[in-house]
Amino acid sequence: MTLFWIICALLLIVAVLFVALPLWRASANSNDVLREAANLEILRDQSVELENDLRNGLLTQDAYEQGKRELQARLVDEVQQKGASSALTHNPARKLAIVLAILLPLFAIPLYLTLGKPQALQPQEEPALAAGFGTLRSEAAIQEMEKKMERLPENPDGWLLLARSYVELERYADAVRCYANLVKLVPGEAQLWADYADAKAMTNNQSLLGEPTKFLDKAVALDGNNASARALSGSAAMERGDYAAAVLHWQKLLELLPPDYPGTDMIQQGLAQAREFLAMQPGGKQKLAQLEAARKANAPQQQSADPALAISGNVTLNPALAGKVSPDDTVFILARAAEGQKMPLAVLRKQVKDLPLQFTLDDSMAMQPQLKLSGFDHVVIVARISKSGSPTSQPGDLEGSIEGVTPGSKQLDLRIDKLVK
């Protein structure tokens, strides 16, 4: 901003000099000089005429001498008038130059402030929402949102945005404050209670005991299929030594996640540890057997996917992008709803070294039983090379997609041809 005004000042000075300097240098006496030159030329001509008349006998010597004296007297008067005029005459163009030098800045600056956009010179904030997460990235944007929430405390979207932003900045106490306001406005959302518990734990020496556990119980009661609530509830149960509850929560979590979910191995390790600790307790083995029997009894019957509704095709990589990937990079082929929530309906996981490859997506790959590929009229098929191994799109990933695909479509040609920014 300061640099801009310095540049403006320099340009304004140049403009003033461009206009005023020629006026300042202009001679106000130019007309006088011309008149004086003409008068001197007349006197010279008259002097020549006197000499010619004397030579031709038209004048006597006395008349000639008298005429000569008169011309000399007029010449002396002319020289005196020239000196007086030079001393007394002022240049009006210089006055105009001074006026313009003063008026130009006085009018130019207010005119810019009125018609221009000084706010465009301020450092531009990054997009308010971080792609894929919904967070404010700058302190100025957060402060502005806080002021907005003071005026509109009943706005749940604003509280959610602030809460996630504070978590991103590791300002967990502020995040807890925002979630406390949020769950009052939207008490029936399991995910909010799970996020509230997570933020509260970070202010509680990273412990899920106490209030965080209560929040998680609320989340599970609202939605037993919420993956975040199940994952954190299992951790809370492990922390308080309730290994049976940890087994219950993490078994359910594995049922909710697709088989190729990146964190599955870690969850299975935690589940195995919970089972081991439970088996070491008195009566633990019997409890394990009861949990396993209950899991099998409550497990939904796996329905075979209808081949007629499966989507299949071929995935290739644009050769121009081959240098941006390595053979072991993860490739996700997924289907998601064309409208509404963007949760994948079916996911297939491969590697770059498998390309080009044939793929088939069907209801057996559903991440949640109630969200099946066959239940949507149109879907989007996406092939993504993930540099991080996460199914969520990240800058630097490579991607290709086909929109408006109907269940049952075959022989799709899906080409990975763009870089995610």
Residue 67 CA to residue 61 CA, distance in Å, equals 10
Question: Which pair of tokens denotes residue 279?
Answer: 């088996």
pTM: 0.47
Domains of the chain by start residue, with CATH: 2-118 (no CATH), 139-298 (1.25.40.10), 307-419 (2.60.40)
Place of tokens 């809460």: 163
Question: Which pair of tokens denotes residue 418?
Answer: 């763009």
Place of tokens 């390309």: 355
Residue 238 CA to residue 233 CA, distance in Å, equals 9
pLDDT tens for the 421 residues of the chain, in order = 566 667 777 777 777 677 767 766 654 444 455 555 666 667 677 777 777 777 777 767 777 777 777 766 776 666 555 554 444 345 566 677 677 677 777 777 777 666 665 555 544 433 333 333 457 878 888 889 899 889 988 989 889 989 989 998 999 999 999 999 999 999 999 999 999 999 999 998 999 999 999 999 999 999 988 989 999 999 999 999 999 998 899 888 888 887 667 778 888 888 889 888 988 888 888 888 887 787 776 655 545 567 888 999 999 999 999 888 999 899 999 998 888 666 788 888 899 999 999 999 988 887 666 678 888 899 999 999 988 777 677 888 899 999 999 999 999 999 999 998 8
H helix intervals, 241-351? 243-256, 264-280, 284-298
Residue 259 corresponds to which amino acid?
P
Helices 156-168 and 190-202: angle between axes, nearest 10 degrees: 40
Contacts of 139 (CB under 8 A, 6+ apart): none
